[in-house]
Each structure stands twice: as structure tokens, then as C-alpha cells.
């Protein structure tokens, strides 16, 4: 059941700006419908019904289904990246727990192992993995959806790791001339191996598999940038 009848208007009759609560409801409904129906079969009508808004409200916020899909993918990426900073529920065993500053404890290898576990937990979030697979499947048929593929390494994760590598370089434990590049390389290696081992998130990684992925990447970085 829809609970509105389209855009709100101010005293001069002009539409009032986007309403954050409704926009969020539309994005949540869009992710659910796109994952359930696929891009082609998903309809704006169904998304509007699930978000409890009018179809016109969806168009007022996003313009069309294509832009709504791209916005929903971006929103999902932001949700997962925010989970990294917040800690739980994006954890994978004891090594993945704790806020980002927890990665300053222990030696560099221990910190990188913990960080790698957290990257895997973020990467293999079930809903994000399903949406990633949907994007890959749909972009071949709908090239206009290509902006939804422009993910790269999660920038929030890279930022945290670059800062940590910079601090450990300052203390003399490591010698990393370009922490941002090293961080991107480490996160990219974890992501590539994590996606391969999990078959793009279609099966969970066993703890020993996750640990092997993280150990390999951590050992490579420590050997490359040891003082």
C-alpha cells in the first residue's frame, strides 16, 4: 500500500527537495526487488509498492529504473564500507573483530592478518555479493549499467590501511614509500583471492581458507616493505 501521492510542494507550488527517509526506503526496496526479480523483470511499480511510496515519488528521486539501479548498487557499497568502520556485524572470527584502530596493536603481520579478515568479511557480505553477481550478469545485456561496475577497491578500507602503514613506517617497523599504493595492492590481493576461493560469494569461506588468503597477502607485504 502506498502512503503518498507524489511530490510534496511548497508555498510557491514548487516540489520540495528529496526526503531522506523516503529515498532510503526506495533504495532498500530496490535492492530487494532487483535481487529477487533481476534487472529486466523488476518494475518501478513493485519497488514503489514495497517502499510504500508512489511510483511518481520514485521517479522524482531517481529519474528512471536505470539510475535507480546504479544508485542502489552505490548505496549497498556504502552500507558495507560503513560496516567496516563500525565493526560488528562485519566480522569473520576473532581476528576480524574490533574497530579500525585495533589494527595498530601487535606487530605488522598480526595487524595485517586482522585487517585481511575484516576485508574478507566486508567483501563476502551475502547481500553485497548477490548484488555484485547481478551487476556482472546484467551489464553485458545493458551496457548503460556499466557505471555500476566502477567499484575498484573499497576506498574506506584502503584509507584505513594506508594510514596504518604510514604510522608503522613512521615508527620504523616498516618502510613503505607510498602507503596508499601498498594499501590498494594489499586490499586488491585479498579481494581477488577471496572472490576466487568463495566462487564470487556463492559459498562461505572456511576459517582456514580465509586465514590462508590473509597470511599470503600479509607475508608478501611484510617481505616487500620490511625495514
Residue 74: its pLDDT value, please?
A: 87
Provide CATH code, domain 1-63: 1.10.10.60
CATH topology of domain 87-225: Tetracycline Repressor; domain 2 (1.10.357)
Instruction: Give which of 57, 55, 53, 56 is closest to 3, Cα–Cα.
Output: 53
| pLDDT top residue among 160 and 30 | 30
Residue 105: its pLDDT value, please?
A: 72
| pLDDT top residue among 83 and 52 | 52
Task: Check: CB of residue 68 under 8 Å from CB of residue 30.
Answer: yes
Q: Is residue 87 over pLDDT 70?
A: no
CA 57 to CA 52: how far, in whole Å? 10
| Domain chopping of the chain, boundaries | 1-63, 87-225
Task: Check: CB of residue 148 under 8 Å from CB of residue 132.
Answer: no
Backbone angles phi, psi at 156, to 5 degrees: -65, -40
Residue 68: its pLDDT value, please?
A: 96
pLDDT of 16-32, one tens digit each? 445 789 999 999 999 99
Residue 94: its pLDDT value, please?
A: 38
Per-chain mean pLDDT for the chain: 82
Q: Comparing 52-56, 136-140, 163-167, 204-208, which segment has the lowest mean pLDDT?
A: 136-140
pTM attached to this predicted model: 0.70
Q: Is residue 10 over pLDDT 90?
A: no
Which ranges of 87-178 would DSSP assign to H, the alpha helix? 108-123, 126-139, 155-170
How much of the chain exceeds pLDDT 70, in percent?
80
pLDDT of 102-122, one tens digit each? 567 789 999 999 999 988 888
Amino acid at each position: 500500500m502506498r502512503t503518498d501521492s507524489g511530490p510534496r510542494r511548497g508555498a510557491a507550488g514548487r516540489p520540495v527537495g528529496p526526503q531522506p527517509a523516503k529515498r532510503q526506503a526506495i533504495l532498500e526496496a530496490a535492492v530487494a526487488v532487483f535481487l529477487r526479480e533481476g534487472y529486466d523483470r523488476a518494475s518501478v511499480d513493485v519497488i514503489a509498492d514495497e517502499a510504500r511510496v508512489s511510483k511518481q515519488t520514485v521517479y522524482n528521486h531517481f529519474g528512471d529504473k536505470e539510475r535507480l539501479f546504479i544508485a542502489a548498487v552505490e548505496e549497498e557499497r556504502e552500507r558495507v564500507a560503513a560496516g567496516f568502520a563500525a565493526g560488528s556485524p562485519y566480522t569473520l572470527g576473532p581476528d576480524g573483530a574490533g574497530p579500525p584502530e585495533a589494527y595498530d596493536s601487535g606487530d605488522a603481520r598480526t595487524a595485517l592478518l586482522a585487517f585481511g579478515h575484516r576485508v574478507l568479511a566486508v567483501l563476502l557480505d551475502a547481500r553485497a555479493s548477490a548484488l555484485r553477481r547481478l551487476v556482472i550478469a546484467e551489464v553485458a545485456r545493458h551496457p548503460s549499467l556499466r557505471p555500476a561496475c566502477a567499484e575498484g577497491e573499497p576506498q574506506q578500507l584502503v584509507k584505513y590501511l594506508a594510514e596504518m602503514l604510514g604510522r608503522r613506517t613512521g615508527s620504523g617497523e616498516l618502510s613503505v614509500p607510498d602507503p596508499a599504493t601498498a594499501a590498494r595492492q594489499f586490499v586488491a590481493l585479498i579481494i581477488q583471492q577471496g572472490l576466487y576461493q568463495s566462487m564470487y560469494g556463492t559459498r562461505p569461506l572456511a576459517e582456514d581458507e580465509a586465514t590462508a588468503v590473509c597470511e599470503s597477502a600479509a607475508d608478501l607485504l611484510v617481505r616487500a616493505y620490511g625495514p
